[in-house]
Amino acid sequence: MSLNIEDYYKPLTVIVGPADEGKPVRTVLERRLGVSRKLQSRIKLTEHGIALNGKRVYTSDIVHEGDELTIRMEKETSDDILPEPIPLSIVYEDDDLLIVNKPAGIVVHPTHGHYTGTLANGVVHHWLMKGERVRFRPVHRLDEDTSGLVAIAKTPYIHQQLSEQLQANGVMKLYRAYVYGHPPEVEGTVDAPIDRNPDAPHIRIVTPEGYPSVTHYETGAVFGGGSAASVSLKLETGRTHQIRVHMRHIGCPLIGDGMYGPDNGGRAEWEAAAGRQALHAETLGLTHPITKQWMEWKAGLPPELIRLESVLGSNTEE
C-alpha cells in the first residue's frame, strides 16, 4: 500500500559534509544521525523512507557533499492496546518524547492478567484524544508498586536512541526508598550480581552466577534511632527488582515490600502507612535525541510516601 507524506512522522534531515563525500547512505545515517542498521532496514522498505535530494534511494547509494539526505518513519499505532481514559500525570511532552509520573498500583504495559488499566492504556487514549498516531514504546519500566518517572518514546528512532543511552549508562535515574535499618555507610555502592531464583523464577536473588548489577546509594534521614532510613539510589545497571534485591542484600529491605521485605513482616504501622513498597523514581535525566540538550525532570513524593515519612519522622537523626 502506497503511503502519503502525512502517514509519516516529521522527517530527519542531514546535509552531507566533506567528511562524508563518497560514502554510502547507510554510513552517513549511522555516523551523522545514529540510525542503527536494523532501523534503516525498516525505514527503507517504505516509499518515502529514505530520500536523497528528494528522490528515493537505497542505503548502498553514494552521497556527495551538499546532498540533502532525509529519512521518514511510518506512523504506527498500538492496535493491541485498548484506549482507556485513565488519569495521567504528564510531566513533559513534545513530538518525540513523553515523560509520565506513574502512580503506584499501575502496570506500565499490558501483560498476562493486566490487559486493561495499565499506563499504556491511558497513554494510548491520551494520544487518541490529541489526534496523534503513535505506538506505545516505553524506554524503561517500573514495577507495578513503584511510583515515579517513566520515559516513553514516540517514534522508533527516539526509542532506539534512548535505548542506546540507557545501555551506555547515559540516562540518569535517581530513586528514593524508605528502608528498615540503615546502610552500613552514608554513601556506598552495592556491586552484587542478580539472577532468577531457580526455585521461584519470579523472584530475583544475589548469586555469583548472576548478571552484573550495580546500585549506588546515599543515606538521607535516619529514623527511630537507626530502625529506618530514607535512601537515595542511582542505578548503574537496570536488572529486574534491582533496588529491592540489593537493599535486602545489605540488610535494609524496603518498607512495604511484600516480596523482598523483612522475614518477620516488618512493623505494622509502617507497612500500613506505605501501603506498598516504599520506592519512588524521583529524578530522570537524558539527552534529547533531536535537540541534543540534556533534560532533567523531578517528581515529588506521592501522598502515601509523604504519610510514611511523617510516621517515621519522630525521633529523627540526621
Residue 81, in any domain of the structure: no
Domain that holds residue 104: 90-167
> What would the grid cell of residue 275 be?
501501603
- CATH number, position 30: 3.10.290.10
**Residue finishing a domain among 167, 194, 216:** 167
Q: What is the number of other CB atoms lying within 10 angstroms of the CB of residue 24? A: 16
Together in a domain, 306 and 179:
yes
Q: Which position has the grid cell 503513535?
A: 134
pLDDT of residue 315: 52
pLDDT of residue 2: 60
Residue 83, in any domain of the structure: no
pLDDT digits (tens, 9 = 90+) for 164-185: 999 999 999 999 999 999 998 9
Is the pLDDT assigned to residue 220 strictly greater than 50? yes
Residue 36, in any domain of the structure: yes
Together in a domain, 136 and 38:
no
Percent of the chain with pLDDT over 70: 97
pLDDT of residue 100: 98
Residue 84, in any domain of the structure: no
Together in a domain, 161 and 278:
no
145 tagged catalytic: no
> What would the grid cell of residue 196 be?
532468577
Residue 56, in any domain of the structure: yes
Is the pLDDT assigned to residue 74 strictly greater than 80? yes
pLDDT of residue 17: 92
Q: What is the number of other CB atoms lying within 10 angstroms of the CB of residue 112? A: 5
Mean pLDDT of 14-20: 92
Say how far apart CA 21 and CA 24 lie, in whole Å: 9
Reduce the secondary structure of 241-293 to three states and give it as a string: CHHHHHHHHCCCCECCCCCCCCCCCCCHHHHHHHCCCCEEEEEEEEECCCCCC
pLDDT digits (tens, 9 = 90+) for 226-246: 999 999 999 998 899 999 999
- CATH number, position 146: 3.30.2350.10
pLDDT band for position 282 (cuts 50, 70, 90): very high
Together in a domain, 162 and 298:
no
Contact 43, 71 (CB under 8 A): yes
Residue 237, in any domain of the structure: yes
Together in a domain, 25 and 146:
no
pLDDT of residue 318: 44
**Residue finishing a domain among 71, 103, 124:** 71
Query: Residue 314 carries which DSSP code?
Result: T
**Residue finishing a domain among 110, 142, 167:** 167
pLDDT band for position 3 (cuts 50, 70, 90): low
- Angle subtended at Cα 123 by Cα 121 and Cα 125, rounded to the nearest 5 degrees: 70
pLDDT of residue 7: 80
Residue 79, in any domain of the structure: no
Together in a domain, 191 and 311:
yes
pLDDT of residue 86: 96
Of 69-78, 83-92, 217-226, 241-250, the range with the lowest mean pLDDT is 69-78
What is the amino acid identity at position 217?
A: Y
Which entry of 20, 67, 96, 143 is annotated as an active-site residue? 143
pLDDT band for position 127 (cuts 50, 70, 90): very high
Together in a domain, 100 and 64:
no
Together in a domain, 305 and 216:
yes
pTM, to two decimals: 0.89
